[in-house]
């Protein structure tokens, strides 16, 4: 293996393992730890697992290795105020860390550019999510990225399966899958459409099998309705609409349906007008869908990470080098915003929130500052995607800093909006 590739890979791996050995999101890691312990300590499958079942299966698989080394006599320790043990937390994050390495490999093979692959693997946001937080978005992104590469190689059936697997980790994977199905319908490839539908339904039913015994009611109400905007819980979202209005939506905001209609209609119009390669349209409208979800839906901070590999792929396909460079800056800034405005710097490290840097953390109406800055970056990203290819300039950093400072001044110092 090329020395530069190996060095990049090792740095990406080491920083993740190092951070994962002590840091973690206390609530999310607590949820995962509870569910895997429940299975290995009592034999009970946790039908109230807070995410899709495929994530649980993968965690159970890797956790089995941990139970073996515990049985062999390993004494594990709790670090400060974290709910899980140190090695235990590492094993729970191992699948996501390996998925990050997989994404690095797929991007490197597809683009042939170490720089592009490094923009993902060494992006502070992907390190922050898998290494520090313990999020599993990379489990969804690996088959997603692989799916686009398979589309580029015209292996549509495998691409569909890859997108389905991605969607079974996080529902976003079903967006390119759905667009691919719409393409088949419009091209009157009904057999392919039927195969996609059959495989999609079959794999979804297979992963849901353990829920049939206990009834799907809890899964339907606790998960499906939550993401379709039909949940009963009035919970806070991170999007700009909620941040400014103080509204609490039941699951996703109803605006997400409007965004969905716009994305699908635009994709159909785009495909009808030109018969170019499907990959470009698929990537383009998947990026727009991800941006729409970040603006109109619950907009969980980790969802911003989906745009990083998608932007890198789109940058390569359309020769938009500036977009690939921007994706790195996007991740870097998202990490800073998430740590300072949404969590505080000590939260993932010590397990309890505390504002060490009082000028940056624990601010009133920090959610609005975050929403405004994220929105500005999303608009800039769409600019890189839709406008003619341009270089990434240092002015973009200055512009983002100015927007952040303006939002900081008006919403946390002047407090022009009090929610």
Partner 1 sequence: MQGVSLGPVIWREGFDNASTWALSGSIPAILQVNNSLSLKIVFPSRTTAQAISIFHNVSLPLDQGPIVTLGLQVSGGISYGVRFWGVTASNRPFSAWHEGSMLQHRRGLGIFETVSANLVSESSIPNPTLSLVGARITRIALYLEAAPLVSGTFSMHVSNLRANSVLMTKASSSEVSGNFTVLVADLGPAIATQKLFQVFVGLDIKGSSDLSYVPYFTTGATVAAQGFTYVTKVATTYELALLSPLQVNSSPLFAGNVHSSSLVVSAKTGDISFFRLNSISIRFFSTQAPRSASLDLTTSRDLVFYFFVFLFIIPVAMVALVVKVFKDEH
Residues contributing to the site for partner 1 (CB under 8 A): 4, 7-8, 11-12, 15, 18-19, 22-23, 26-27, 30, 33-34, 48, 78, 80-85, 113-115, 118-119, 122-124, 127-128, 131-132, 217-218, 220-222, 225, 230-235, 248, 250, 328, 332, 335, 345-346, 348-352, 354, 356
Give the DSSP per-residue string, 23-60. ---HHHHHHHHHHHHHHHHH----TT-SS-HHHHHHHH
**Which CB, 26 or 260, lies closer to partner 1?**
26
Task: Check: CB of residue 173 under 8 Å from CB of residue 186.
Answer: no
54 close to 169: Cβ distance less than 8 angstroms: yes
CB of 205 to partner 1, least distance (A): 21
Q: Characterize 396-419 residue by residue with b for buried, 16 or more Cβ atoms within 10 angstroms of its Cβ, and e for exposed.
A: beeebeebbeebbebbeeeeeeee
* Minimum separation from the CB atom of position 349 to partner 1 (A): 5
Please, what is the minimum distance in Å from the beta carbon of residue 119 to partner 1? 7
Helix (H, G, I), strand (E, B) or coil at 249: strand
Q: How far apart are CB 345 and partner 1 at their closest, in Å?
A: 5
Smallest gap from Cβ 23 to partner 1, in A, equals 6
CA distance 304 to 353: 22
Min CB(84)–partner 1 separation in Å: 7
Residue 248 carries which DSSP code? E
Our CB check for partner 1 shows the closer of 163 and 249 to be: 249
Residue listed under structure tokens 């995410």: 51
Taken in order 271, 273, 274, 275, the sign of the CA dihedral is: positive
Q: How far is the CB of 385 from partner 1 (least distance, A)?
A: 22
Nearer to partner 1 (CB atom), residue 138 or residue 231: 231
Cβ proximity to partner 1, 58 vs 132, nearer residue? 132
Contact residues for 272 (Cβ-Cβ < 8 A; gap 6+): 186
Using a 10 angstrom Cβ sphere, with 0-12 exposed, 13-18 middle and 19 or more buried, the burial of residue 263 is: buried
The runs of H, that is alpha helices, within 297-412 are: 307-318, 321-337, 347-350, 366-386, 394-407
Q: How far apart are CA 358 and CA 172, in angstroms?
A: 36
Question: Cα 77–81–82 angle (5° rounding)?
Answer: 65
Q: Pick the closer one to partner 1 by CB: 195 or 221.
A: 221
Closest approach of partner 1 to the CB of residue 60, in Å: 18
For residue 298, the number of C-alpha atoms closer than 13 Å in the C-beta half-sphere is 19
Please identify, using beta-carbon distances, which residue of 265 and 354 lies nearer to partner 1: 354
Nearer to partner 1, 134 or 351 (CB): 351
Q: Which is nearer to partner 1, 126 or 286 (CB)?
A: 126
């Amino acid at each position: 293996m090329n020395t530069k590739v190996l060095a990049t890979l090792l740095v990406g791996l080491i920083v993740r393992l190092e951070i994962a050995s002590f840091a973690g999101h206390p609530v999310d890691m607590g949820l995962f730890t509870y569910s895997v312990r429940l299975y290995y300590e009592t034999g009970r499958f946790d039908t109230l697992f807070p995410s899709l079942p495929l994530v649980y299966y993968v965690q159970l698989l890797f956790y089995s290795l941990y139970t073996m080394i515990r049985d062999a006599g390993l004494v594990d320790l709790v670090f400060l105020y974290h709910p899980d043990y140190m090695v235990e937390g590492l094993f729970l994050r191992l699948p996501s860390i390996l998925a990050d390495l997989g994404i690095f490999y797929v991007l490197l093979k597809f683009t042939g550019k170490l720089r592009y692959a490094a923009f993902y693997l060494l992006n502070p946001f992907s390190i922050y999510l898998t290494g520090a937080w313990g999020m599993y978005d990379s489990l969804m992104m690996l088959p997603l990225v692989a799916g686009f590469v398979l589309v580029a190689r015209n292996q549509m059936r495998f691409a569909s399966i890859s997108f389905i697997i991605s969607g079974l980790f996080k529902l976003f994977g079903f967006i390119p899958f759905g667009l691919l199905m719409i393409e088949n319908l419009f091209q009157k490839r009904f057999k392919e459409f039927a195969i996609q539908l059959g495989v999609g339904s079959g794999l979804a039913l297979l992963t849901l099998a353990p829920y049939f015994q206990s009834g799907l009611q809890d899964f339907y109400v606790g998960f499906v309705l939550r993401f379709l905007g039909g949940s009963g819980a009035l919970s806070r979202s991170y999007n700009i609409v909620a941040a400014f209005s103080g509204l609490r939506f039941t699951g996703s905001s109803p605006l997400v349906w409007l965004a969905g209609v716009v994305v699908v209609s635009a994709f159909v119009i785009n495909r009808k007008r030109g018969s170019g390669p499907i990959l470009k349209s698929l990537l383009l409208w998947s990026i727009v869908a991800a941006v729409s979800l970040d603006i109109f839906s619950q907009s969980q901070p980790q969802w911003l990470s989906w745009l990083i590999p998608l932007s890198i792929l789109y940058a390569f396909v359309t020769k938009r080098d500036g977009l690939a460079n921007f994706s790195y800056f996007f991740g870097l800034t998202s990490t800073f915003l998430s740590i300072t405005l949404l969590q505080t710097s000590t939260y993932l490290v010590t397990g309890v929130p505390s504002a060490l840097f009082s000028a940056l953390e624990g601010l009133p109406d920090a959610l609005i500052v975050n929403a405004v800055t994220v929105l500005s970056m999303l608009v800039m990203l769409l600019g890189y995607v839709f406008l003619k290819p341009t270089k990434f300039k240092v002015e973009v950093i200055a512009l983002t800093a100015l927007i952040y400072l303006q939002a900081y001044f008006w919403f946390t110092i002047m407090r022009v909006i009090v929610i």
